[in-house]
Chains A and B, each alone.
Chain A
């Protein structure tokens, strides 16, 4: 058994009672990384020297009362860490070794004395759904290394699933936390847009990007979100509201909870085994005193088209900053300014990123702006209204996180559109800005994890967590761990 089989709360208590030390926790992480990360390939950069120094300091600290005190964690590599390499998975930033500031979420974790173990792999600039678009390495699914871990937060999900860290932070623009969480059998939360500061997050599509936790259990997840949420004067889109104590309400039960199940989420393209797992989950909900009814999200089938137009348009402007002038890679093959821009960007960006910023730039150009960009923004309104209509009568929406379990490496790299369709159930949530969580709800015939998605009202993470926790505690999926080479301590 690993120390990381204990919950964050249990580890905090053990530290308090001096049963374990922060050094023990940090050693658990780095030993496990040495043991399994050759196979998994989740980490891009380790923070070992600093983490060791921090462990020694924290173990002499008399005050161990901070939330997440000494808990080992990892950051997706698009979350800025001061003086610790931050690449966003791109060759453009491969030598960006000395970021000048911490993301707000990192500052918040530092205040609570959590220990950052390292930086985690991702699809380049978060544009991808399998981790195969990282320009450094392809992270593997810990349940079967022939399969993808999902993306873009594939490194964070795989690292938590394989017991290398206790929690990770990822980012989710169209499903990038929830989809890899589903594929790797862990819990991933995409909070309401505006709940968590995006300051220091490498921008992809700023109207949808949101940072959130990836953990083994719902309780761990709620605990991390309590720490990282809250308004920030450095991010004008954060909302000035008190952050509820999510963990205190977890065990309140779900008697009378009204669940909506969109028929589009169990329809065409959704694998039978995925559908069955969701139907089984709904039975569990019934047994816990909740009720469910079938509803419709009539515009959800338009979400993928609208999302790729909007996110690519926003991405094309967000990535205009990489010009080889102030930071990032500069081509050595240019002798004038224009060529320097062109060669630096052409050498620094990968194929998927180029495709998306081309799509985005065309979408924003004269002749397409009204017919495509603005059209997609209007469709976004219709999708948002679908959710508002349902939430007038129901507390949460439940369905699968993904249409299928994890797919094989190389299976969907040929045709971009096939890859994009994989996000069809997560994308509507980002367009609407509402919170969504994925948690384990069983396994496929091939032994790959399946994810249950619970979607809530704007800023109603409390109900989402409560519903997720009730199901989790009534089942044992979250206690399963992948078999990897090597003995656990």
Chain B
């Protein structure tokens, strides 16, 4: 597997909305590569005909009726908001 590059680390950080310093980029690049090298051991295993496991048990497709219920009020929903105005969450401008 090709090494993870600094550019890849920067691009990923941007996509997941993290600002990382030059120093952090360097450190992350080396640590991520070290881990991926360690993880290469998984390739020793033949998993050609193995199905992936996605959960800790076999429960799937649990259905319930889609009925509206009372949950929280608008006032409660805004209780922990960092900024609000006229009953709504306020955020910095999206458009330039």
A194 touches B56 (CB 8 A): yes
Q: Given the interface contacts A326-B89, A345-B17, A361-B15, does A193 sit within 8 Å of B32 by beta carbon?
A: no
Within 8 A of A (CB), among B59-79: 59, 62, 64, 72, 76-77, 79
Interface residues on chain B, number (Cβ under 8 Å) = 52
Q: Digit string of A393-416 for contact with B (CB within 8 Å is 1, else 0)?
A: 000000000000000000000001
Q: Is the interface of B mostly helix, strand, loop or mixed?
A: loop
Number of contacts between A and B (CB, 8 Å)?
A: 168
Decide if A305 touches B57 in the complex (CB within 8 Å): no
Complex: chain A residue closest to B55, CB-CB: A207
A379 CB contact (under 8 Å) in B4, B45, B79: B45
Asked if B87 CB lies within 8 Å of chain A CBs, one says no
Q: Who on chain B is nearest to A337 by CB?
A: B94
Chain A residues positioned under 8 Å from B91 (CB to CB): 325, 337, 340
User: Interface size (A, Cβ < 8 Å)?
Assistant: 74
Q: Which residues of A contact B (CB under 8 A)?
A: 96-101, 192-194, 207-208, 210, 233, 236-239, 299, 301-302, 305-306, 308-309, 316, 320, 323-330, 334-343, 345-346, 349, 354-355, 357-359, 361-362, 365, 371-372, 374-382, 384, 416-417, 430-433, 458
A344 to B10, CA, bound (A): 17
Provide the residues of chain A in CB contact with B82, threshold 8 Å: 324-325, 327-330
Q: Is B19 an interface residue (CB 8 A)?
A: yes
CB within 8 Å for A237 and B32 given contacts A330-B83, A378-B47: no
Which chain B positions have C-beta within 8 A of A375? 42-43, 47
**Would A379 and B47 be within 8 Å (CB), given that A326-B81, A327-B80 are in contact?**
yes
Could you tell me if A361 and B16 are in contact, using CB atoms closer than 8 angstroms?
yes
Q: How far is the CA of A301 from the CA of B81 in the complex (A)?
A: 45
Task: Please list the 7 inter-chain residue pairs (A to B) with the smallest Cβ-Cβ separation, ordered nearest first.
Answer: A193-B56, A433-B56, A377-B52, A327-B80, A330-B82, A378-B47, A341-B17
Q: How far is the CA of A155 from the CA of B85 in the complex (A)?
A: 38
| B contact residues around A323 at 8 Å (CB) | 17
- Which listed residue, A210, A341, A379, touches B56 by the CB 8 Å rule? A210
Please determine whether A193 and B57 come into contact, CB atoms closer than 8 angstroms.
yes
Can you spell out 29 A-B residue pairs with CB atoms less than 8 angstroms apart? A97-B80, A192-B56, A193-B55, A207-B55, A233-B64, A237-B55, A239-B57, A302-B45, A306-B42, A308-B39, A316-B16, A325-B81, A326-B89, A330-B83, A334-B92, A336-B94, A337-B94, A340-B91, A342-B18, A345-B16, A345-B17, A362-B8, A362-B12, A377-B53, A378-B50, A378-B51, A417-B34, A430-B56, A458-B57
Asked whether B62 lies within 8 Å of A362 as measured between CB atoms, the reply is no
B4 to chain A, nearest CB (A): 7
Shortest CB-to-CB span from B96 to chain A, Å, is 8
B residues within 8 Å of A by Cβ?
A: 1, 4, 8-9, 12-13, 15-20, 24, 28, 31-32, 34-36, 38-39, 41-45, 47, 50-57, 59, 62, 64, 72, 76-77, 79-83, 89, 91-94, 96
Q: At the interface, is chain A mostly helix, strand, loop or mixed?
A: helix
Give B57's nearest chain A residue, CB to CB.
A194
Cα(A342)–Cα(B16), bound, Å:
8
Do A365 and B12 form a contact, CB below 8 Å, given A237-B55, A355-B28?
yes
CA–CA, A433 and B56, complex, Å:
4
Contact of B81 among A305, A327, A359 (CB under 8 A): A327
> How near does chain A come to B35, taking the closest CB pair, in angstroms?
6
A233 to B62, CA, bound (A): 10
From residue A217, how far is it (CB to closest CB) to chain B in Å? 27
Contacts of A233 in B (CB 8 A): 64
